[in-house]
Chain A
Amino acid sequence: MPQVFSSRFTLVLRVASIFTLGVLIAAIIVYRVNARGDAPQDDPIDQPIPFSHKHHVRDDGIDCRYCHTSVETSSFAGIPPLATCMTCHSILFNDAPMLAPLREAFAGGKPLEWNRVHDLPDFVYFNHGIHIAKGVGCTTCHGQIDQMPLTRRVASLYMQWCLDCHRNPERALRPRDQVFSVDWQPPPDQLVRGAALRREYGLRSTRELTDCSTCHR
């Protein structure tokens, strides 16, 4: 029986198949890497009100805990209730069009919906309180929040990133009075100081800090 297709055509067919397969595999990899309902890293996220941490933290000097009230005690740092915003904004900028959604929500209209910038997978249980108690500062994970007109995520939030610190917490530990500081920079002898702080704070062993059950349950 004669060949139906020429050898040349067969070759083209093979190359095309391999190429298609390659494209598919690449597409799946791209999907796997990006398929998370989370904001992209380093891109400022649009919000219903262009809330500026730069303005509130850097210019006004408001402490993180004024709004994120439960950061020291709870897993969740807390999103301020609208009443917190209105303590100032019932007087300041109280007719700014930018703040219209806030006023509407506070008056009982459409609720304000912030877009979530930091979102961990559901099988990860992060706790703000313990990190603050053990001397990990806000900017260690959230970056220079005081220079963000619109908040963006600066950390990958991958498990590798978490483990980097859980294996070597000395790099991040700060004196207690510097935890909420946005100006703290690691001193040159941070590793020495960090090791001393690690003892002082009574951090768990690296083995415990890297146990699966520390973050997953």
Chain B
Amino acid sequence: MPRFGAGYNRRDFMKLMGASLALAGTAGCSHGPLDKLVPYRNGPAEQTYGKPVFYASALPRDGYGVGVLVETNMGRPTKIEGNPQHPASLGATDVFLQASVLELWDPDRSQTVRRGKSIATWNDFLGTLQSPLADLAARGGAGLRILTETITSPSLAAQIHSLLERYPAAKWHQWQPINHDNLHAGATLAYGEPLDTIYRFDRARVVVAFDGDFLDDAPGFVRYALDFSTTREAHAAPERRSRLYALECTPTLTGAAADHRWPLRASDMIVALRELAAALGATTADSATTSAIPAQWMPSLVADLQANASASIVTAGRRQPPEVHALVHVLNAHLRNVGNTVLHIPPVVAQPKDQQASLRSLVDDMRQGHVQIIVIVGANPVYTAPVDLEFARALEQVPLKVHSGLYVDETALRCDWHVPAAHPLESFGDLRAFDGTLALAQPGIAPLYDGKSAHEIVATLAGDAASGNRELVEAYWRSAHATDFASFHETSLREGVIRESAPASVTPQLRREAVERAVSSHNAQSDAAAAADDIELVFVPDARTGDGRHANNAWLQELPKPLTQLTWDNAALLSPALAKRLGIASEDVIEIGTGDERLDVAAWIVPGIPDRSVTLALGYGRTAAGRIGNGRGVDAYRIRASDAPWIRNGITIARTGRTYALACAQTHHSIDGRDIVRTYTVSEAQACKPDVCGTPRYRDERTLYETPPMGPYAWAMSVDLSSCIGCGACTIACQAENNIPTVGADEVRNGREMHWIRVDRYYEGVVDDPRTLFQPVPCMQCEHAPCEVVCPVEASVHDAQGINVQVYNRCVGTRFCSNNCPYKVRRFNFLRYVDDVPGLDAQRNPEVTVRMRGVMEKCNYCLQRIQNAKIGADIEGRRVRDGEVVTACQAVCPTRAIVFGDLNDPQSAVNRRKNSPLDYALLAELNTRPRTTYLGRVTNPSPMLASFEASRHAPEPPPAGAVDTRPPSNR
């Protein structure tokens, strides 16, 4: 962080100032160096100078492909948009895909081949490999092991299979800490084969999620979020509107979106599921003795599910054991959902196998000296492997260790050779989406550091070091499309998806008895674990760093995690009740774990977690992530063992007496009965008239403000709070589009984060299980803007299209505007936040000014996109069409909660939204006349649960003390 603090004293300051004053005079004598213009040799045909080019491609997300359009400016990938034609995207993306451009340009990426700690070349590596490979061939490959992550690429899988044919004694292992072992094992239990399950949330009327994460973690969740929101949006047709029941342990986006949420320990999910199955008559098992589902819920659940048979969905999250997933399959079959809302397809991954067992067998073989060469492609097992396997120690037994990855990570440091990997934005490839659809990937730029793709590494092992990434991928598809390769390749690359490549769904035979046997034996185990004083520890992938691979990405680190609003660190999340019982406050460092596997971690109190349950996110505590990620948070893998990879029972918690300052982006949590986020039930919403549902948009026509100028366009935005799931993708898309800097944890603690659109999170109701409300807040573009009247230099002014523009070159940094903004959406460059690390500047959007220190900035409705659309329309001599300007936050939104357009066009989508009686302005009583308004959040609670919920979520009076999880430092 470029802070003017440590390292400078008064004398240095005086010297520097004196020198710069003296030099100021001499600098006046000559001109600065002239800028250079370097022409192309042959201009690329598709490139128009000054205009971006979009390439259709696919990027991996946990190994599964998501179709994207890569925006490149003069050959530099700068922004990711979703591919509307790809089924996993439909035009939207998620936070990780948005952040992948920063990863591409990350100066901490591995830049050279390394032999041990010294720099080497690719040819050195090939030379070293020659004699061991020759030995291998003689032994039939005995001693060769390849360790990859989950692979869906058919071309890469084919390469590995042909390598294994060449070396029959070699073995291919897969390991990814956030894997699908439980899902595949559950399907195997229920159907005899590891089928994948895909859901059609757009067809579902009732959804029951057990520890479910279909809105934020499951493969294909971007698509699921859109499908789900079509049944949730404020004006969804009554016959399509869905109801979501969520039983969950860690508060997730799924639970926050639910109409009915019940906090339940992750260990108890199977009990709840058994109860439901018994109540529905799906299983013959006796009903369990303990009651995990509240008694009031059961009649409503059963009635809803039975009334909507074949139009309901039961799901479970990946943390849950195979028995839960098997039982979910039984329930979905019983409810006749299979084939309607729940589809089974052959496994999407190239070779489904139990990854933990795969890793364990590798470790066993390494220990016993059976492994001569290990080639690790992409994975980082030294950091992510279960702690009891002691992977790093076993690895030392291997004579030749090769690692290929984007970073010189923990595993690379323990290998003999490291080869930099090509970033997905630098390589050709092919990926399957969650539903099996194939897409070809193409690079947006040539490899920056001569990185090698996985294809090239595997080809090298097979003795073909000459073929490049492109030839290897094309060779596979050429063999599959021998006759029509040219047209197939061109079409598939251009469209970003291979036509009709999704597999047909299958109707497998359910093994009901096997499932019931497994469930009842599992239940015996879990009963033992469910002792009255048992505390469970639940591991979750971090919402921002994933399994740790994104730890060096500053955008993701600084993006507030949904629900906790924490940035830059992980923490042990626990319920207010448990914290009170143990005498723990937020930011207290606690010692947590079992036996010798213990960890010191800061505590953070989160309402909505069941008592006797603690959640800890993986993906922190990296030691070799890079300058951003090193040393942030604590490493939860150190207490994650192979017998309990997700849920560990019987943990103990001890106070250490120390505290650790966490950086939380929101310091007030309760909505305190205010109508900042308005909520309605379906029946309330239907009865809603503009004068019934609270204040009108303009409270009073009388005003002291000047009437704003009106031009041919009047831009405005509407945010549907019914659709919004609070994922935060808008924030990071805005960051990528608008060159917004990151500030670091210390500055976040000072309240100086720079995000132009933030997602506020409020709680309403009882402390132990409140309702969670999300609200994205960009600049409201007030017609009567309080910021404008106080600016002494007219840097904050209105333009004729209704945008409250901030003129950076006028701003002198008085901060009066920010002080006078009731929405607190203005951001000030207190320090020089813009990073001048070489390389990072290549990511910046050339259409947006990079702001300097001392300048105020804020959302301007993606002015660059508006202006470019207007110029394009003006050149063609027409008006800008509705939907032609898409703001960055709108484009990325998986649920299409954000609509943007022209108020002067009566037919525009934004006008249709604003004509709704549910439309309201934030803080309308101030009469600022915001151009950004909201549609109230409409929920669809079960009438049978009305009195039960009313007792728990009474909005008035505000709960005493609300939920004050504010750390001492922020109170």
Q: Is the CB of B48 within 8 A of A70?
A: yes
A79 within 8 A of B: yes
Q: Which of A137-188 contact B (CB under 8 A)?
A: none
Q: Complex formed: what's the CA distance from A129 to B875 in Å?
A: 7
- Output the nearest chain A residue to B738 by Cβ-Cβ distance: A217
Q: Is the CB of B849 within 8 A of A217?
A: yes
Q: Complex formed: what's the CA distance from A111 to B874 in Å?
A: 37
Given the known interface contacts A116-B34, A217-B867, the answer about A74 and B49 at a Cβ–Cβ threshold of 8 Å is: yes
Q: Which of B33-58 contact A (CB under 8 A)?
A: 33-43, 48-51
Q: Is the CB of A134 within 8 A of B867?
A: no
Q: Is the CB of A37 within 8 A of B847?
A: no
Q: How far is the CB of A153 from chain B (nearest CB, A)?
A: 11
Q: Which of A92-122 contact B (CB under 8 A)?
A: 105-106, 108, 111-116, 119, 121-122
- Output the nearest chain A residue to B50 by Cβ-Cβ distance: A76
Q: Complex formed: what's the CA distance from A217 to B51 in Å?
A: 17
Q: Complex formed: what's the CA distance from A212 to B31 in Å?
A: 28
Q: Complex formed: what's the CA distance from A106 to B43 in Å?
A: 12
Q: Is the CB of B25 within 8 A of A217?
A: no
B372 within 8 A of A: no
A27 within 8 A of B: yes
Q: How far is the CB of B73 from chain A (nearest CB, A)?
A: 11
Q: How far is the CB of B803 from chain A (nearest CB, A)?
A: 6
Q: Complex formed: what's the CA distance from A37 to B877 in Å?
A: 36
Q: How far is the CB of A166 from chain B (nearest CB, A)?
A: 13
B859-884: contact bitstring with A at CB < 8 Å (1 yes, 0 no)?
01001100100010011010000000
Q: Complex formed: what's the CA distance from A36 to B34 in Å?
A: 9
Q: Complex formed: what's the CA distance from A163 to B809 in Å?
A: 16
Given the known interface contacts A24-B25, A70-B50, A213-B860, the answer about A130 and B871 at a Cβ–Cβ threshold of 8 Å is: yes
In the complex, chain B residues whose CB is within 8 Å of the CB of A192: none
In the complex, chain B residues whose CB is within 8 Å of the CB of A108: 41
Q: How far is the CB of A101 from chain B (nearest CB, A)?
A: 12
Q: Complex formed: what's the CA distance from A213 to B807 in Å?
A: 8
Q: Complex formed: what's the CA distance from A27 to B34 in Å?
A: 22
Q: How far is the CB of B250 from chain A (nearest CB, A)?
A: 41
Q: Which of A20-40 contact B (CB under 8 A)?
A: 23-24, 27-28, 30-31, 33-40
In the complex, chain A residues whose CB is within 8 Å of the CB of B48: 70, 73-74
Q: How far is the CB of B922 from chain A (nearest CB, A)?
A: 23
Q: Is the CB of B711 within 8 A of A38?
A: no
Query: Which one of B275-283, B527-535, B793-801 is at the interface?
Result: B793-801
Given the known interface contacts A28-B25, A35-B32, A37-B33, the answer about A212 and B41 at a Cβ–Cβ threshold of 8 Å is: no
Q: Is the CB of A75 within 8 A of B50?
A: yes
In the complex, chain A residues whose CB is within 8 Å of the CB of B43: 81, 83
Which listed residue, A34, A74, A79, touches B39 by the CB 8 Å rule?
A: A79
Given the known interface contacts A80-B39, A217-B863, the answer about A122 and B50 at a Cβ–Cβ threshold of 8 Å is: no
Q: Complex formed: what's the CA distance from A74 to B50 in Å?
A: 6
In the complex, chain B residues whose CB is within 8 Å of the CB of A23: 25
- Output the nearest chain B residue to A77 by Cβ-Cβ distance: B49
In the complex, chain A residues whose CB is within 8 Å of the CB of B39: 79-82, 111-112, 114
A8 within 8 A of B: no
Which listed residue, B24, B36, B800, B875, touches A211 by the CB 8 Å rule?
A: B800
A207 within 8 A of B: yes
- Output the nearest chain B residue to A32 by Cβ-Cβ distance: B28
Main secondary structure of the interface of B (DSSP, over half): loop
Q: How far is the CB of A51 from chain B (nearest CB, A)?
A: 11
Q: Is the CB of A122 within 8 A of B41?
A: no
Q: Is the CB of B799 within 8 A of A213?
A: yes
In the complex, chain A residues whose CB is within 8 Å of the CB of B799: 208, 211-214
- Output the nearest chain A residue to B804 by Cβ-Cβ distance: A213
Q: Is the CB of A213 within 8 A of B867?
A: yes
Given the known interface contacts A116-B35, A129-B875, the answer about A213 and B41 at a Cβ–Cβ threshold of 8 Å is: no
- Chain A interface residue count, CB cutoff 8 Å, equals 59
Q: Complex formed: what's the CA distance from A36 to B35 in Å?
A: 10
Q: Complex formed: what's the CA distance from A129 to B807 in Å?
A: 24
In the complex, chain A residues whose CB is within 8 Å of the CB of B24: 27-28, 31
B116 within 8 A of A: no
Which listed residue, B34, B35, B41, B863, touches A82 by the CB 8 Å rule?
A: B41
A133 within 8 A of B: yes
B158 within 8 A of A: no
In the complex, chain A residues whose CB is within 8 Å of the CB of B486: none
In the complex, chain A residues whose CB is within 8 Å of the CB of B860: 213, 217
B21 within 8 A of A: yes
- Output the nearest chain A residue to B21 by Cβ-Cβ distance: A24
Q: How far is the CB of B800 from chain A (nearest CB, A)?
A: 5
B805 within 8 A of A: yes
In the complex, chain A residues whose CB is within 8 Å of the CB of B805: 211-213, 216-217
Q: Is the CB of A208 within 8 A of B51?
A: no
Q: Is the CB of A115 within 8 A of B34?
A: yes
Interface residues on B, range: 35 or more
Q: Is the CB of A216 within 8 A of B849?
A: yes
Given the known interface contacts A70-B50, A212-B799, A213-B860, the answer about A207 and B711 at a Cβ–Cβ threshold of 8 Å is: yes
A5 within 8 A of B: no
Q: Complex formed: what's the CA distance from A81 to B45 in Å?
A: 11
A2 within 8 A of B: no
A200-213: contact bitstring with B at CB < 8 Å (1 yes, 0 no)?
00101101100111
A59-95: contact bitstring with B at CB < 8 Å (1 yes, 0 no)?
0000000000110111111111111000000000000
Which listed residue, B28, B38, B810, B871, touches A27 by the CB 8 Å rule?
A: B28
Q: Is the CB of A129 within 8 A of B871?
A: yes
In the complex, chain A residues whose CB is within 8 Å of the CB of B34: 37-39, 45, 115-116, 119
Q: Complex formed: what's the CA distance from A77 to B51 in Å?
A: 11
B27 within 8 A of A: yes
A19 within 8 A of B: no
- Output the nearest chain B residue to A83 by Cβ-Cβ distance: B42
Q: Complex formed: what's the CA distance from A37 to B32 in Å?
A: 4
Q: Is the CB of B31 within 8 A of A38?
A: yes
Q: Is the CB of B28 within 8 A of A31?
A: yes
Q: Complex formed: what's the CA distance from A31 to B27 in Å?
A: 6
Q: Which of B574-615 contact A (CB under 8 A)?
A: none
In the complex, chain B residues whose CB is within 8 Å of the CB of A77: 49
In the complex, chain A residues whose CB is within 8 Å of the CB of B830: none
Q: Is the CB of B35 within 8 A of A216?
A: no
Q: How far is the CB of B18 from chain A (nearest CB, A)?
A: 12
B709 within 8 A of A: yes
Q: Is the CB of A30 within 8 A of B31?
A: no
In the complex, chain B residues whose CB is within 8 Å of the CB of A52: none
B848 within 8 A of A: yes
Q: Is the CB of A30 within 8 A of B28?
A: yes
Given the known interface contacts A82-B41, A208-B711, the answer about A76 and B49 at a Cβ–Cβ threshold of 8 Å is: yes
Which listed residue, B41, B801, B803, B808, touches A106 by the CB 8 Å rule?
A: B41
In the complex, chain B residues whose CB is within 8 Å of the CB of A82: 39-42
Q: Complex formed: what's the CA distance from A38 to B34 in Å?
A: 6
Q: How far is the CB of B359 from chain A (nearest CB, A)?
A: 49
Q: Complex formed: what's the CA distance from A210 to B223 in Å?
A: 43
Q: Is the CB of A37 within 8 A of B35?
A: yes
Given the known interface contacts A73-B48, A207-B711, the answer about A31 and B875 at a Cβ–Cβ threshold of 8 Å is: no
List 17 interface pairs A-B (beta carbons < 8 Å), by A numbering.
A28-B24, A28-B25, A31-B27, A34-B31, A35-B27, A76-B49, A78-B50, A81-B42, A108-B41, A111-B38, A114-B36, A115-B37, A204-B874, A207-B800, A208-B801, A211-B801, A216-B808
Q: Known contacts A31-B27, A123-B808; can you find 17 more A-B pairs with CB under 8 A?
A: A23-B25, A31-B24, A31-B28, A33-B28, A40-B31, A73-B48, A79-B49, A125-B847, A134-B874, A204-B874, A208-B799, A211-B800, A212-B805, A214-B867, A216-B807, A216-B849, A217-B848
Question: Residues of A at under 8 Å CB distance from B?
Answer: 23-24, 27-28, 30-31, 33-40, 45, 69-70, 72-83, 105-106, 108, 111-116, 119, 121-123, 125, 127, 129-130, 133-134, 202, 204-205, 207-208, 211-214, 216-217
Q: Nearest 7 CB-CB pairs, A to B?
A: A76-B50, A27-B25, A31-B28, A37-B32, A30-B28, A116-B35, A211-B799
